[in-house]
Amino acid sequence: MQAPAVVPRFSRTPHPGISRMHPHAVSLWRHLLLPLAGLGLLLVWAGPLGGDPWLADRLYAWEGHAWSLRDAWITDTVIHVAGRNLNVAVWVVLLACWLLACLPPSRRWALRRPLGYLLLATLVSCLAVSWIKSWSNMDCPWDLLRYGGRKAFVGLIELRPLGMGRGRCFPAGHASGGYAWMASYFFLLAVAPRWRWLGLGTGVALGLVFGISQQLRGAHFLSHDLYTAGICWLVSLTLYLAILRPPADPRRAARSGGGTP
């Protein structure tokens, strides 16, 4: 009697934690249309309905009609500088974990793809926001005449007057270092589904802390942060579908040996 073929451990579970869930655990309606609809409503309020200047006016007045927190220790040194450095340090630690997971056969192999996804999603999110900032040509609130600066406000799709100089404040770069970690939702969906909402909450919380801090400094309007959140979520979702989404029939993939190492 022929012994049944032994299926490697990583082949039985193409993506840790997802195999027992519905194969299409991430639906476009729930994870694409609903978040974008919510962000869209907020952007309508921030843009056409005047929410950006309404909020910035109140922050500016609250700080004494000046951006008093622009160089404050908590907003500049702690949240802006130290927060950015901590972000880089965490990413480097995760890179080291991914390299360890690539070492010769071990149980860590199952983490290679999820960790690789998390590293790539966070990096691409920040790079995408930075790339858009390089050509979007919008000013920070602290640059505008309305808030003690020297420039008139020019909208995103408006032509800037000759000689006005470039703006590099849209979307919100620092907030991307927080919202990029919304990718933790999809990472944990793959390795520990029960904790996925904690991953999402962590990314949202970091984005809010970084974003609100920069608004208090006069570096961004609310809409800048909303666009950044949307970009980071789209990058995370797209890369999840490309890298981590389980096959349509995990059992068939296991039988054919098509699992992901």
Tokens 């008139």 map to which residue?
152
pTM for the predicted model, two decimal places:
0.85
Q: Residue 106: its pLDDT value, please?
A: 64
CA distances from 196 to 32, 44, 147, 186, 191 (A): 16, 29, 41, 7, 9
Residues 6 or more apart whose CB falls under 8 angstroms from that of 11 comprise 253, 254, 257, 258, 259
CA distance 202 to 219: 23
- List the beta bridge partners of residue 144: 151
Number of H helices, E strands in the chain: 11, 0
Q: Residue 108: its pLDDT value, please?
A: 72
Q: Residue 25: its pLDDT value, please?
A: 55
Q: Residue 157: its pLDDT value, please?
A: 86
Q: What is the pLDDT along the chain (261 residues), one digit of tens a residue?
A: 444 444 334 333 444 444 444 344 577 788 999 999 999 999 999 999 999 999 999 999 999 999 999 999 999 999 999 999 999 999 999 999 999 998 876 667 789 999 999 999 999 999 999 999 999 999 999 999 999 999 999 998 888 888 888 899 999 999 999 999 999 999 999 999 999 999 999 999 999 999 999 999 999 999 999 999 999 999 999 999 999 987 665 454 444 444 333
CA 157 to chain CA centroid, nearest Å: 24
Q: Residue 110: its pLDDT value, please?
A: 85
CA distance 170 to 223: 9
CA distance 244 to 59: 42
Residues 6 or more apart whose CB falls under 8 angstroms from that of 116 comprise 98, 243
CA distance 17 to 60: 47
CA distances from 221 to 83, 153, 183 (A): 20, 12, 24
Q: Residue 46: its pLDDT value, please?
A: 97
Radius of gyration of the chain (CA): 22
